[in-house]
Every structure is written in structure tokens, then in C-alpha cells.
């Protein structure tokens, strides 16, 4: 589904990713782990199309399409969706309005018509109940005055409504207490399906206790230096990142 080959990315002339390779198949959950500054968030930002990142080498293919040739919104419409580490506040714009505009933009791109209002309301009510969000959140301005946990739940709510093919979740566990983490994890787990892939970017292993990954990758200094199954995450938790780095150099 997603194929990243020899990806080199610089930010303000500083090399961040230095030849990253990653293949994610439909139905899989992948976790990208690594120390601070390794380039984890850069990877998901580049795939989503954020400005300020220069791809100097390499390719990103999503279902055979060249992602780097696509506009930001085209990527989202193709089914690539980024859950933000720091969700953005948009004063005066209702949460439900953003959801509806996004869903209809994606439906339109797929040649489907706008979703009928009653159907949309039913969908959104159901999904916000799943995320244990009071319906009043839908009427509030996007992320404005939301707590950290509420913002993250709101990100997952968007995923549940928009149903991407590839959900990329950047540090979705940061700033969450254990109850909020369970709600978020339950939301992510409900997204798991044969046709969908999930890419988790995380600093800590604890998220992976709740969302079990199929593959774990260690990103150090702009490259994936080690990949394994979920046991690798546990080993990292116990031993830190140093040994992986040493192993890769050796």
C-alpha cells in the first residue's frame, strides 16, 4: 500500500531523513519508534505533504501513485490521513462543520455525492459516542479550548468518520492519561481492517500495549536501522535505543 524508498529529506538545508525505506501493506499496523530528533515526525509530515520539507532523493508511492506529485488535499482524498501530534485550533469554525466539509470533499473526489444530513448526523453521533465525546464537542470551534486529551480524541474521531486507507498517527499518545489512552487505543483498534493500514509514530512503548503492532521499526538518525515484531518494542523499552544504534554501526 505504502512504499517509501531511499527517502532523503532536508529542513532548512539540514538533512533529517537520510535514505529511509519502509513498506506497509494493507491490513498491517506499523509502529515507528526512535529517540527524539531521529526524524519520526518528519516522515509522517512529508507523506502528508507539509510545506517546509525538501525531498532531495527517493520516492513515496501510495497504491502505486507518486505521492510527492500530489497536492496535500489530493493525498487526503486518496485515503492518506495524518493525525496531528498538536492538533490545530480554528476559532469560529464548528468541529462538525470541518468534519462535514472534509467528508464531502473526500466523497466528491470518489465520485460520490454529498452525504445526506440525517445520515451524517447519525454517523457522527455514533462515532463521537465511541470516543466518549459529548455531542456538545461537535458544536464547539475546532480544537479551541480543548484539553490535550480532547484534542487527541477529536483526531481519532476524524479518522473514524473519514475512514482513510492509511491512517498515520503522530505521537497520538503524547499528553494522554491512562483513561484517555485507552479510549484513543480502542478507537484506533476499531479502525483495524483487512483493507486498511495504520502507521503509528511513537516515542514510548506503552501505546503498543494497547494497540498491538504487526511490525516495529526503529528510526535512528534518519534511517530505519532495525525492524522486528512487537517483541522489539518491549526490548527497546527495557534497554533504550543505544544498543540498536551500536548494533547498526557495527
Partner 1 sequence: MASEEMEQLVRREYKQGFVTDIESDTVPPGLDESVIAFISQKKDEPQWMLEWRLEAYRQWLKMTPPSWAHLEYPEIDYQAISYFSAPKKPEDRPQSLDEVDPKLLETYEKLGIPLHERAALAGVAVDAVFDSVSVTTTFKEKLAEAGVIFCSISEAIREYPELVRQYLGTVVPQADNFFAALNSAVFTDGSFVYVPEGVTCPMELSTYFRINAANTGQFERTLIICDKKAQVSYLEGCTAPMRDENQLHAAVVELVALEDAYIKYSTVQNWYPGDEDGKGGIYNFVTKRGDCRGDRSRISWTQVETGSAITWKYPSCMLRGKESIGEFYSVAVTNGRQQADTGTKMVHIGENTRSTIVAKGIAAGHSDQAYRGLVKIGPRAKGARNYTQCDSLLIGDKCGAHTFPYQEIGNSSATVEHEATTSKIADDQLFYCRARGIDEEDAVSMIVNGFCKDVFQELPMEFAVEAEALLNVTLEGSVG
Binding-site ranges for partner 1 (CB under 8 A):
48-51, 71-73, 75-77, 81-82, 84, 87-88, 90-93, 97-98, 101-102, 105-106, 109, 141, 158, 162
Assigned C-alpha cell, 149: 486529551
Q: For the sheet containing 54-62, what is the strand order? A: 14-24, 2-11, 54-62, 65-66
**Helices and strands counted in the chain (H then E):** 10, 12
Which residues in the chain belong to E strands, given as ranges? 2-11, 14-24, 29-33, 54-62, 65-66, 80-83, 90-94, 141-142, 166-170, 197-201, 215-220, 223-228
**What is the closest distance, in whole angstroms, from the C-beta atom of residue 49 to partner 1 in the complex?**
7
Give the nearer residue to partner 1 in terms of CB position, either 72 or 129: 72
The span from the CA of 30 to the CA of 60, in Å, is 16
The residue among 162 and 233 lying less far from partner 1, judged by its C-beta, is 162
Which region holds residue 100: left if phi is over 0, alpha if psi is between -120 and 50, else beta? alpha
3-class state of residue 162 by DSSP? helix
CB 87 to partner 1: min, Å = 7
CB of 88 vs partner 1, minimal distance in Å: 4
Give 197 or 216: the residue with its C-beta nearer to partner 1. Answer: 197
| Shortest distance in whole angstroms from residue 90 CB to partner 1 | 6
Cβ 179 to partner 1 shortest distance, Å: 26
Amino acid at each position: 500500500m505504502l512504499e517509501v524508498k531511499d527517502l532523503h529529506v532536508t529542513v532548512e538545508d539540514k538533512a533529517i531523513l537520510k535514505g529511509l525505506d519502509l513498506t506497509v501493506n494493507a491490513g498491517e499496523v506499523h509502529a515507528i519508534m526512535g529517540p527524539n530528533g531521529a526524524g519520526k515526525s518528519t516522515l509522517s509530515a512529508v507523506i502528508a505533504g507539509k510545506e517546509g520539507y525538501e525531498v532531495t532523493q527517493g520516492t513515496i508511492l501510495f497504491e502505486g501513485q507518486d505521492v510527492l506529485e500530489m497536492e496535500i488535499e489530493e493525498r487526503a482524498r486518496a485515503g492518506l490521513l495524518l493525525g496531528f501530534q498538536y492538533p490545530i485550533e480554528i476559532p469560529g469554525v464548528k468541529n462538525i462543520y470541518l468534519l462535514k466539509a472534509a467528508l464531502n470533499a473526500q466523497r466528491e473526489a470518489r465520485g460520490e455525492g454529498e452525504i445526506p444530513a440525517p445520515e451524517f448526523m447519525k454517523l457522527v453521533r455514533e462515532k463521537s459516542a465511541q470516543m466518549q465525546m459529548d455531542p456538545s464537542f461537535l458544536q464547539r470551534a475546532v480544537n479551541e479550548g480543548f484539553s490535550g486529551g480532547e484534542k487527541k480524541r477529536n483526531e481519532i474521531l476524524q479518522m473514524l468518520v473519514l475512514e482513510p486507507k492509511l491512517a498515520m498517527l503522530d505521537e497520538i499518545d503524547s499528553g494522554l492519561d491512562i483513561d484517555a489512552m485507552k479510549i484513543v487505543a480502542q478507537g484506533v483498534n476499531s479502525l483495524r481492517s483487512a483493507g486498511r493500514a495504520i502507521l503509528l509514530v511513537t516515542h514510548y512503548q506503552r501505546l503498543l500495549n494497547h494497540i498491538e503492532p504487526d511490525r516495529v521499526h526503529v528510526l535512528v538518525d534518519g534511517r530505519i536501522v532495525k525492524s522486528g515484531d512487537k517483541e522489539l518494542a518491549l526490548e527497546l523499552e527495557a534497554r533504550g535505543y543505544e544498543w540498536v544504534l551500536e548494533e547498526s554501526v557495527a
